[in-house]
Amino acid sequence: MNIQFTVAEWAAWAPGLETAEAWQAWARAPFVPAGEGAPALSEVPAMQRRRIDRLGRMAIQTAYWCQRAEAEGIPFVFASRHGDVACSVQLLKALSRREALSPTSFGLSVHNAIAALYSIVRGERGNYLALAAGPATPETALVEAAGLLGDGAPEVLVVVYDAALPEVYADFRDEPDPFHAWCWRVAPADRDGIRVSLACGAAAQAAPALARETGLPHGLDVLRFLLAPGPGVLRHPADAQHWEWRRDG
């Protein structure tokens, strides 16, 4: 499999990294973001904003920054390896104490909740997907986007986001897990922007994942790959598959 596409626009948010200039400097000397806080998300009315937790604010903020106001009706793909698992853990603890569960908390804990909130606050009635695919979550999101472009969508909004795992899952943590979110506005390969190809199969088996060299979680290493100057390659073995990203200079 080999897909090609253009990243027409991008946006990202993590603690201490809130502007395009800050992210471009980070791509030249990457580090694992750390800190508290959340984006202001001023585009969303206060009554709706209060229902959106930190992870949702990050994902929705990058989507707002990346999607043009006039670009209504384009499909979007929200992808997170873990989602808001901390909320799920709190609900399970409440069950163990035989406490009544909050319907609102339950509704916001499901994996498609953030994508649904984005569609509600923007009044979007088009196609959206929410997915999780383990260590290949960013790759799977772009495969879905390529399929939507192939079906005739002019653009696809891809949002990749994740949060720190609760301590109960510490033994399963296989990479750093800072709060972060990024969004790409993906278009066909003949459009203006950053030209990217993504392959899966035997051609990408040779090298280890560059995320292990940079010390970044894979989702952030994909963003670093996009923003780094000049042509680039990122190889990523995930389970039984081997992925290879290539970017034109």
Which neighbouring-strand residues pair with 183? Answer: 11, 159
pLDDT of 212-239, one tens digit each? 567 899 999 999 999 998 888 999 988 7
Domains annotated on the chain, with CATH? 8-187 (3.40.47.10)
Flag whether pLDDT at 9 surpasses 90. Answer: yes
* Helix/strand/coil for 67: coil
Mean pLDDT over residues 141-169, rounded?
94
pLDDT of 237-248, one tens digit each? 887 889 999 998
pLDDT of 77-97, one tens digit each? 999 999 888 888 888 888 888
Residue 25 · residue 244 · CB < 8 Å = no
Residue 141's nearest CA partner among 75, 97, 239, 211 is: 75
Instruction: Please give the C-alpha separations between residue 104 and each of 11, 101, 110, in angstroms, as whole numbers.
Output: 29, 9, 11
E-strand ranges in the chain read: 2-13, 76-79, 128-131, 156-162, 180-187, 194-200, 232-238, 241-247
Mean pLDDT over residues 157-186, rounded?
92
Q: Whole-angstrom Cα distance, residue 15 to residue 23?
A: 11
